[in-house]
Amino acid sequence: MSSVDFTWLIGGPQGSGVESGANIFSRVCAEMGYQIFGKREFYSNIKGEHSYFTVRIADKKIHSNVDDVNLMASFDAETIFRHYDEVVSGGGIIYDSDLDGIKTDAVHTLDAPFKERLHKELESKNKPFTIAGVLEIAKEKGVKLFPVSFKSILLTLSEETENPRLKGLIRMYNVIGVSLSLGLVKMPTDSLQKTIDNIFSNKPEIAKINQQTANYSYNYAAAKFENFDYTLPGTQKEPGTLLVQGFQGTALGKMACGCRLQPYYPITPASDESVFLESNEILEINGDRPGSTAVIQTEDEICAMGMTIGGALTGTRSATCTSGPGFALMTEMLGWAGINEVPIVITNYQRSGPSTGLPTRHGQDDLLFAVFAGHGDFPKIVYASGEIEESFYDTGNCFNYADTFQVPVIHLMDKFHASSVITCKRFDTEKISIDRGLLLDKVEDGYRRFEFTEDGISPRSRLGIDNGIFWDTGDESDETGHITEDPILRVKMMDKRMSRLELISKRIPNEEQAVSFGIEDYTIISWGSTIGPVKDALDMLKKEGISIGLIQLKLMHPFPADYVSSLLKDAKTIIDVEANHSGQLGKIFKQNISRDVDYFILKYSGRAMTSTEVYDALKKIVQNKAEKREVLMHGA
């Protein structure tokens, strides 16, 4: 069996259907049994700026993108200018032949620094500053060009279907691009039809036009294009395969593990999760009447956090979802939740900072901020999911940790997760256990909310139950929750709360704190979404006989110092891979383990890491040619 590893790229102005085009393409490929890893890149803009989607397709499980593009479907000039050089020799570019003469200067969304680099390249190769110019370079490299006049396709189609509206419907360009691509790689056509029917199932009129356009374009490619090196005939589909987007993992996890209140304030890339939760607000409950998630859009993140805490005080599993700038606003209340021992979950989809930084781009910039968030000392948990599939189960764990240890939990996700699309095994709710800790339903007389106990965890009442009256305050308090400034009691209370950190380290199973994928002389430490590219890079190296170890950190705070140092005792060289400027994991690693990281592989261009570039950097390290800090740059 030949192995398939194929990357398709579609690009166009924001709002032109790039995302839905990619959605159709991904679904069709997933329908045909392929594994998918897709990722969207876009500007902080609603309409007009460049947006693109890469979909990697393989016949085995993949965890990341690669640098190379095998086929690019473009229907605008900018996509060609920006991505022509990513297409490999033997790969192909489907493009709108009407654009041949377009000059770089005519594309107003090409920003100056990019244009400067492009002009330099064209000049050095003695090519005109036009589409034809860049395509010539591609052709000389061995890329096959597939010119099509998108306008005339619509025109012929409109005549054939006797639908005069069609000829002006440039909205159909994305479907044309997708279908030409599928025709070119000889994807069985019935899966395309099925997918379109599926996507437009409640809009039969639109389904019909899309169907006609798809068929026509598919056949056009098959008839007019010369043979292409790559074919995707389909493979064995594994039953129970999901095609999910990043934010759906945590959202479904929240539904399944009993989160019933999610106040939020809109912020990219976090809001998609809340919108998805609200779209599915009514929940089916086994053997009981329907339940629901109250999703509340608030006036700001401060209110979202306040409502989340207020909800948690009633015993409700409550969460909010945000990104860096929003999380920054929540930190005062984080301390309040800490001192009052309120279990809540904050899902933080990080993006590139500081400030609003690159609002729609990738970055793992908030690790240190999350670990140190809040004034004063108080116990909290910072937990990071690596891959989307994990995030479903991790969400359940985060709520259990919050409840059993009565602490706020910050669940770190990021933009790479949020805008990736993957195939994975169907989520298994059976595996979600629910542990509400010492949450009381009934309370005896003489209740004290913050009672000193042996393990430092006090039975927890909730607003509204008989005899369960308690007082909360952001000030230091006694066992009943009333304000105290007594120095002895203060020390006792502080010790009680902070002892929770040790308990957390002790009670959370090792394998939920950090995952070892093998320890070698060279061993990587990494966390969050970069785990995917690292895993794939390690696979590539293994094929060449190079074995590198990997530890994935999940419990970021309290840091699993003993466990991680015991794992690493035989590793000679430690490599930290993460997506920020300062090597934040390396910093807390050093702080907790007193061991230096030998190499950093970092990326902070705002673009997601690819396995190719991680592979390249690792190779340099083993060949002893690397700098201490290898900075990755791939991506437009």
Partner 1 sequence: MALKPAEFKTDVHNDWCPGCGDFGIVNAIQMALADMGVQRDKTAIFSGIGCSGKTSHYINTYGVHTLHGRVLTFAQGAKIANPEMTIVAVGGDGDGLGIGAGHFVAAGRRNVNMTYIIFDNGVYGLTKGQASPTLKLGEKTKSLPSPNTNSNVNPIGLAIASGFTFVARGYSYDIRHLKDLIVQAVKHPGLSFLDVLQPCPTYNDLNTRDWYAGADLMDEAQKRHSRIYKLEETGYEPTVHYDSEIEINEKLSQALIKSLEWGNKIPIGVFYKNENTTPYTKRLQDKIPNYLENPPAKQNVSKNGHSNTDISKILDSLEV
Show contacts with partner 1 in window 501-530 (CB under 8 A). Answer: none
Q: Name which position in 54, 79, 213, 318 contacts partner 1 (CB under 8 A).
A: 318
Count of positions (residues) in the chain: 636
The kind and range of the H/E element at 96 are strand 87-96
Is residue 321 part of the contact set for partner 1 (CB under 8 A)?
A: no
Shortest Cβ 426–partner 1 spacing (Å): 6
Is residue 455 part of the contact set for partner 1 (CB under 8 A)?
A: no
Q: Which two tokens stand for residue 160?
A: 């054939």
For partner 1, the closer of residues 252 and 553 by Cβ is 252
For partner 1, the closer of residues 251 and 614 by Cβ is 251
Q: Name which position in 10, 22, 30, 618 contacts partner 1 (CB under 8 A).
A: 30
- The C-alpha atoms of residue 416 and residue 419 are separated, in whole angstroms, by 6
Is residue 401 part of the contact set for partner 1 (CB under 8 A)?
A: no
Output DSSP code: residue 175.
Answer: H
Shortest Cβ 482–partner 1 spacing (Å): 5
Exposed, middle or buried, 111 (CB in 10 Å: 0-12/13-18/19+)?
exposed
In a 13 Å sphere around the CA of 251, the CA atoms on its Cβ side amount to 24
In this structure, is the dihedral angle defined by the CA atoms of residues 443, 444, 445 and 446, taken in order, positive or negative? negative
Shortest Cβ 243–partner 1 spacing (Å): 5
For residues 611-624, one letter each, b for 16 or more C-beta atoms within 10 angstroms of the residue's C-beta and e for the rest, the string is bbbbbbbbbebbee
- The C-alpha atoms of residue 474 and residue 175 are separated, in whole angstroms, by 56
Is residue 415 part of the contact set for partner 1 (CB under 8 A)?
A: no
Q: Which of residues 143-182 bind partner 1 (CB under 8 A)?
A: none
555-557: strand order across its sheet: 294-297, 259-264, 317-322, 344-350, 408-414, 381-384, 555-557
For partner 1, the closer of residues 465 and 561 by Cβ is 465
Pairing assessment for the beta strands 420-425 and 35-42 based on DSSP bridges: antiparallel
**628, 574 Cβ separation under 8 angstroms:** no
Is residue 568 part of the contact set for partner 1 (CB under 8 A)?
A: no
**326, 268 Cβ separation under 8 angstroms:** no
Q: Which of residues 328-357 bind partner 1 (CB under 8 A)?
A: 332-333, 336
Is residue 485 part of the contact set for partner 1 (CB under 8 A)?
A: no
For partner 1, the closer of residues 441 and 570 by Cβ is 441
- The C-alpha atoms of residue 607 and residue 630 are separated, in whole angstroms, by 15
The residue range among 288-296, 363-371, 383-391, 486-494 that interacts with partner 1, by the rule CB under 8 A, is 288-296
Q: Name which position in 61, 186, 436, 620 contacts partner 1 (CB under 8 A).
A: 436
- The C-alpha atoms of residue 184 and residue 180 are separated, in whole angstroms, by 6
Is residue 62 part of the contact set for partner 1 (CB under 8 A)?
A: no
For partner 1, the closer of residues 241 and 510 by Cβ is 241
**Cross-strand partners of 514:** 553
Is residue 422 part of the contact set for partner 1 (CB under 8 A)?
A: no
For partner 1, the closer of residues 317 and 557 by Cβ is 317
For partner 1, the closer of residues 210 and 340 by Cβ is 340
**Cross-strand partners of 49:** none
Output DSSP code: residue 610.
Answer: B
> Amino acid identity, residue 377?
D
Q: Which two tokens stand for residue 363?
A: 């970055």
Residue 231 DSSP SS3: coil
Q: Name which position in 59, 272, 472, 536 contacts partner 1 (CB under 8 A).
A: 472
Nearest in space to 46 (alpha carbons), one of 91, 94, 13: 13
Is residue 550 part of the contact set for partner 1 (CB under 8 A)?
A: no
Q: Name which position in 92, 246, 396, 456 contacts partner 1 (CB under 8 A).
A: 396
For partner 1, the closer of residues 140 and 475 by Cβ is 475
Which residues of 177-268 form beta strands (DSSP E)? 241-245, 259-264
The residue range among 12-20, 308-316, 555-563, 620-628 that interacts with partner 1, by the rule CB under 8 A, is 308-316
Is residue 490 part of the contact set for partner 1 (CB under 8 A)?
A: no
- The C-alpha atoms of residue 364 and residue 604 are separated, in whole angstroms, by 8
What is the secondary structure of 14-32 as a DSSP string? TTSSHHHHHHHHHHHHHHT
Q: Name which position in 433, 453, 566, 591 contacts partner 1 (CB under 8 A).
A: 433
- Please tell me the count of residues contacting partner 1 according to CB under 8 A: 83
The residue range among 125-133, 146-154, 304-312, 595-603 that interacts with partner 1, by the rule CB under 8 A, is 304-312
For partner 1, the closer of residues 266 and 481 by Cβ is 481
Shortest Cβ 338–partner 1 spacing (Å): 12
Shortest Cβ 258–partner 1 spacing (Å): 3
The residue range among 62-70, 71-79, 117-125, 312-320 that interacts with partner 1, by the rule CB under 8 A, is 312-320
Q: Which of residues 234-273 bind partner 1 (CB under 8 A)?
A: 237, 240-244, 248, 252, 255-258, 260-261, 263
